[in-house]
Chain A
Amino acid sequence: EPEVTQTPSHQVTQMGQEVILRCVPISNHLYFYWYRQILGQKVEFLVSFYNNEISEKSEIFDDQFSVERPDGSNFTLKIRSTKLEDSAMYFCASSPVEASTEAFFGQGTRLTVV
């Protein structure tokens, strides 16, 4: 069964460093998302991406964040200068078409900023 894959599963980075989280969505999907879950809290929407551009972003997704689909298969989330409060689980998700109601989630990347 096709699945969304994320790498790495766990990333430890020093405060102020740049980090790139990688995702490979399901191959025929057209909509891509990043969500964040701070430990013990709810899952929060960060950004959605369609047709090579951001279609919606939340207040959390400030200038420190960017997304890219560099090669038609990967979907990346970059955090330019990490802060302690960026420590969280980051989930990538994808949906096949606009009318689709189901988002398929990856297994998540745990980001720890020290």
Chain B
Amino acid sequence: AQTVTQSQPEMSVQEAETVTLSCTYDTSENNYYLFWYKQPPSRQMILVIRQEAYKQQNATENRFSVNFQKAAKSFSLKISDSQLGDTAMYFCAFMKRSGATNKLIFGTGTLLAVQP
């Protein structure tokens, strides 16, 4: 069974600074996807960034980038130039590529507070 671990329950960063959120996972699968989802106070789940395990290049979406270390099973999220609107709960998630259902397995989340 796959597991996703986020060891930082809460993080704080000053506006315009950079912050890194950690995520590790455990799987015996070779083909899979990893995601970071953002959940603002409105509670909606919003996809931030996606990484395909067979791609060595780290994914980047504007101010958001990941550091994907497949051998170490590590998938951290870096937020550059943090903005007040980045304040949210961030969930790391895993999906088996070969699965018929594409279900997501989530970590416990990291609550990020961006301070003015």
Chain A interface residues (CB < 8 Å from chain B): 31, 33, 35, 41-45, 48, 50, 55-56, 89, 91, 93, 95, 98, 100-103, 105-108, 110
Contact = CB atoms under 8 A, between A and B. Distances in A.
B64 to A, nearest CB: 15
Given A31-B101, A55-B101, A101-B95, A44 B44 contact: no
A93 B102 CA distance: 11
Q: Size band of the B side of the interface?
A: 20 to 34
A91 B43 CA distance: 10
A35 B43 CA distance: 13
Contacts, number: 60
Interface stretch (B17-25, B75-83, B106-114): B106-114
Contacts of A33: 101, 103
B11 interface: no
Given A43-B45, A45-B105, 14 more contacts: A31-B101, A33-B103, A35-B104, A42-B91, A43-B106, A48-B103, A50-B100, A55-B100, A98-B100, A102-B47, A103-B102, A107-B42, A107-B44, A110-B43
